[in-house]
Structure 1
Amino acid sequence: MAAPPLARVLDGVRLHVVTGKGGVGKTTVASALALSLARQGRRVLLVEVENRQGISQTFDVPPLGTEEVRLVQDPSGGELWGLSVDAKAALLEYLQTFYKLGRAGGALERMGVVDFATTIAPGVRDVLLTGKVYEAVGRTSGGKRGQGRLVWDAVVLDAPPTGRVARFLGVNEQVAGLARMGPIHSQAASITRMLRDRRSVVHVVTVLEEMPVQESADAVAELSAAGFGLGAVVVNQVREPLVPAPLLARLEADGPQVEEQVRADLSAVGVRSGARTVGGLLAEARDHAARITLEDELTAEVDALGLPTLTLPALAAGTDDGGVAVLADELAAQGVR
């Protein structure tokens, strides 16, 4: 199945949900995506919901709180802001918005009701976290939703990992089904509509390893079946081959001749070409060849998902020394708008 053009997939998108298996660089990719959009003149909010302070570590700023903090002011006029959503604060805000509890909210917190709701009650935490994202996406300058201009041109959500992202995004549909009327039902139904709207897409981050690719494929199938819009697959930490393709082919076709060639090349530059040295080099090269073959097979599996694919290089220094900016430029060069 041919992937649709990236431009068509991203056209009009305001909420970018970024997920991926643990360890694939999900937060780094979410940060690079948000920065790429901000450097194109947009006002962007980058949100995390797992309380890991990954954004603050990526941008080397103090830990984020419950208020938006500006991370980048770009010469293009764009801005990147960061927010770490706290479920307890979101619950108190929700109670104040819909029930005008005032000081009673503080009393509930002291009694342990807030802790119970946000850590023990199944699903409530995810409802609150997605609710805060919903508020940010629809926030306008007029004070009330729908009045004035939108505050954020785009919101990028560093979402939970692929193993539970569909459940996280779908929790409000379950709540709306349980609460047949009232503000809880209305809020949950509105959040569900936003997450399934064409202006919201889920990007899946992977690396070219068997488990992450398989988990990405499972997530794409689950999200699609649940009715959530899909964006791009981002293949992160791509490394350039260390050995030229023709030499890799020769390793399999005529090993003895390659061994003699390696021995001659080492001698020509004054390096001892004993059996251990030559054998070690060839063993490393063959392992590398096997790795390249596997990555080619996994790339074909990613392509078979039928989504636009973005690739990001492995950075020797990680995100230090402007690494996130390098990745942001890579995304822009590949058509992220």
Structure 2
Amino acid sequence: MSPDPSPVRLHVVTGKGGTGKTTVAAALALALAADGRTVLLVETEGRQGIAQLFDTPPLPYEERRVAVTRGGGEVKALAIDVEEALLDYLDMFYNLRRAGRALRKMGAVDFATAIAPGLRDVLITGKVKEAVTRRHDGRPVYDAVVVDAPPTGRITRFLGVTGEMAQLARSGPIKTQSDGVMAVLRSPQTAVHVVTLLEDMPVQETADAIAELTKAGLPIGSVVVNMAAEPVLPADGLARAADGGLTGAELAPALAAAHLPGGDGLADALAAEVTEHARRWAGQDGLRAEVEALDRPTVELPLLTGPMDLGSLFELAARLEDHLQNGETA
């Protein structure tokens, strides 16, 4: 992620399942759309997660505005339908849209994507590339494209399958299209951002994904630490509680002075809760060192209470916008 002027126009967001990558992708789109920019947010997995976040009806296979940002910027969203993407492909390169519709009625499209799962990823990345490179009156239609991509366990395969297709096709439109997609994905205008939590498995998967993406020649952007809990005690209090040095007997006088009911039982329960919080925080702090060791720009997003609504998305977007303005480059 980087402020204008930035070579990065395609932001691919991935992360282990449960880390909130769809939420981060949506917030990033809002941040990038500030000050009058136009951003396309692309969903690739057919879950309609973007529609739920923006509280809109299920997205069709068309680019539809879902939010307006500061300065007249806007976020449009697209849920890629694989069948429609295939029809676009057949029409664009072979003028066979009508024939493609007939194939769909026969169930041939479903059959093809079932027996060749990689075809689905080829079509999706091809559509993403088309959105990134689309121009009108000599300038890009979108200032940025944000992709809510598959999780880390599948991201390298998802982004690299078109390169494998290019190796199989020696010439013709398939070869040309495949080479064009990989040229965009491996260029400085693309950045793959990885979302993680301060937990052992997500941090390990983040490290593994970065290693795999780097080996595949795909550009790594930022690491986004999502749902980071804020400490409720000062540093010395956290350290003492984590070491088991806080007892209910120490808290009881203050609780009594506040006229809180519960007596020693409440004091002991509160001391146990504080100790658990402090140890959890200490564990997270240790994992921060592992995230820093990945040597990528890092931004932390807070754990927000309550349901995730548009207001919450704008709050996260503000954090990401600060990250952009501070010059944290991909």
TM-score in same-fold range (> 0.5) = yes
Query: Could you tell me which of 208, 218, 226 is aligned with 1:236?
Result: 226
Identity of aligned residues (%): 53
Query: Could you tell me which of 6, 9, 14 is aligned with 2:9?
Result: 14
Distance 1:102 1:33, change over 3 A: closer
Q: Structure 2: any 5+ residue segments left out of the alignment?
A: none
Are 1:210 and 2:207 an aligned pair? no
Q: Structure 1: any 5+ residue segments left out of the alignment?
A: 1-5, 143-147
TM-score normalized with structure 2 length? 0.93
Distance 1:101 1:255, change over 3 A: closer
Counterpart contact for 1:201–1:231, Cα < 8 Å = yes
Distance 1:75 1:208, change over 3 A: closer
1:313 corresponds to which residue? 302
Distance 1:281 1:74, change over 3 A: closer
1:152 corresponds to which residue? 142
1:290 corresponds to which residue? 279
Distance 1:9 1:195, change over 3 A: farther
Greater displacement, 295-304 / 244-253: 244-253
Where in structure 2 are the equivalents of 1:237-316 lying within 5 Å? 237-251=227-241, 255=245, 258-272=247-261, 274-316=263-305
Distance 1:59 1:285, change over 3 A: same
Q: Distance in 1 between matches of 2:136 and 2:41?
A: 19
Q: Distance in 2 between matches of 1:10 and 1:123?
A: 35
Where in structure 2 are the equivalents of 1:175-190 lying within 5 Å? 175-190=165-180
User: SS in structure 1 opposite 2:308?
Assistant: coil
Are 1:104 and 2:104 an aligned pair? no
Q: Distance in 2 between matches of 1:264 and 1:177?
A: 74
Q: Distance in 2 between matches of 1:319 and 1:251?
A: 31
Task: Show CA shifts across 1:209-239 (max 9, x none).
Answer: 1111111111111111111111100011111
Aligned Cα RMSD in Å? Answer: 2.0
Are 1:224 and 2:218 an aligned pair? no
How far did 1:245 drift?
2.3
Distance 1:295 1:179, change over 3 A: same
Query: Could you tell me which of 7, 24, 43 is aligned with 2:38?
Result: 43
How far did 1:117 drift?
1.8
TM-score normalized with structure 1 length? 0.91
User: SS in structure 1 opposite 2:316?
Assistant: helix
Counterpart contact for 1:17–1:200, Cα < 8 Å = yes
How far did 1:334 drift?
2.4
Q: Distance in 2 between matches of 1:253 and 1:22?
A: 32
Greater displacement, 244-253 / 220-229: 244-253
Are 1:130 and 2:120 an aligned pair? no
Q: Distance in 2 between matches of 1:233 and 1:217?
A: 10
Distance 1:90 1:211, change over 3 A: same
How far did 1:39 drift?
1.5
User: SS in structure 2 opposite 1:132?
Assistant: helix
Greater displacement, 226-235 / 7-16: 7-16
Corresponding residue pairs, total? 326
Q: Distance in 1 between matches of 2:232 and 2:26?
A: 28
Opposite residue 240 of structure 1, the aligned amino acid is E
Counterpart contact for 2:88–2:97, Cα < 8 Å = no
